[in-house]
Amino acid sequence: MKQADVPPIWQHLPFHRGYPVPYFVQWLPDASGESMPNFHRADGRKWVTCLKFKKCWVCSKSLDKASFMVTGPKGLTNRVGTDCFMHEACARESIRLCPHMLYQKTARRDVDSDSLILSPHHDLTKPLEIALVKTGAWQIVHTGLTYVINYQPLAVQWFHYIDGLLVAKTETLAPVDSNGWKRAGFKVVPINKL
Ligand SMILES: [Zn+2]
């Protein structure tokens, strides 16, 4: 991708080796000491910032009324996620452009063990289907091992892989039953305790 092809909503993001660098990416020094983005690793401090100040996980701008998540079938069933909320446009562009979602063959890597967001709920098997989820209420819970976001799903649109590429399976967002979305058995963590 050329920088000119980056969607307008992401033009303010740093550009690295053909890709805009999402806000959540952790920057680490390479062998020469230069700061480089590690696309496989989310920055735990940014996770806290996004939740506390209601910022988008991808573009870092303020989230307005509706927030979205991108997850797999298991994440939607469990109603917990490790990635923070996004604008609808950022979620859709991520599904369209992120090479880790777009190409089925790309391997998924775990976050590093010292990361705040390491989660046993983070299934390393790449899902065959991806859900774009419009979310409502949410809370932070501690599972006993880590922090995760427990959210209320309001509507979902499904994407799936055809010939190794991710394409829409259902046309639009459709309402989803969110009764009993609050997970029992996990400790709820007030946002100011993060
Ligand atoms: Zn955004």
Higher-scoring residue by pLDDT: 135, 105: 135
86 alpha carbon to ligand 1 midpoint, in Å?
A: 5
In 3D, which of 128, 130, 127 has the Cα closest to residue 168?
Answer: 130
**Dihedral sign from CA coordinates of 75, 78, 81, 86:** positive
Q: How many CB atoms lie within 10 A of CB 105?
A: 7
Q: Are strands 174-175 and 147-162 parallel, antiparallel or unpaired?
A: antiparallel
Over residues 85-100, the mean pLDDT reads 89
**Cα dihedral value 53, 14, 44, 85, nearest 10:** 50
**pLDDT tens profile 17-40:** 888 999 999 999 999 999 999 887
Q: How sure is the predictor about 112, in pLDDT bands with cuts at 50, 70 and 90?
A: very low
56 Rama sector, left if φ>0, alpha if ψ -120 to 50, beta otherwise: beta
Say if CB 151 and CB 79 are below 8 A apart.
Answer: yes
185 alpha carbon to ligand 1 midpoint, in Å?
A: 32
Q: Identify the domain containing residue 102 by its residue range.
A: 3-193
Q: Is the per-residue pLDDT at 120 higher than 90?
A: no
**Dihedral sign from CA coordinates of 19, 119, 180, 76:** positive
d(CA 63, CA 13): 17
The predicted model scores a pTM of: 0.86
**pLDDT tens profile 70-82:** 998 888 999 998 8
87 alpha carbon to ligand 1 midpoint, in Å?
A: 4
129 alpha carbon to ligand 1 midpoint, in Å?
A: 22
**pLDDT tens profile 30-70:** 999 999 998 878 899 999 999 999 999 999 999 987 899 99
85 alpha carbon to ligand 1 midpoint, in Å?
A: 9
What's the first-to-final CA gap in the chain, in angstroms?
A: 37
150 alpha carbon to ligand 1 midpoint, in Å?
A: 20
For the chain, what is the domain count? 1
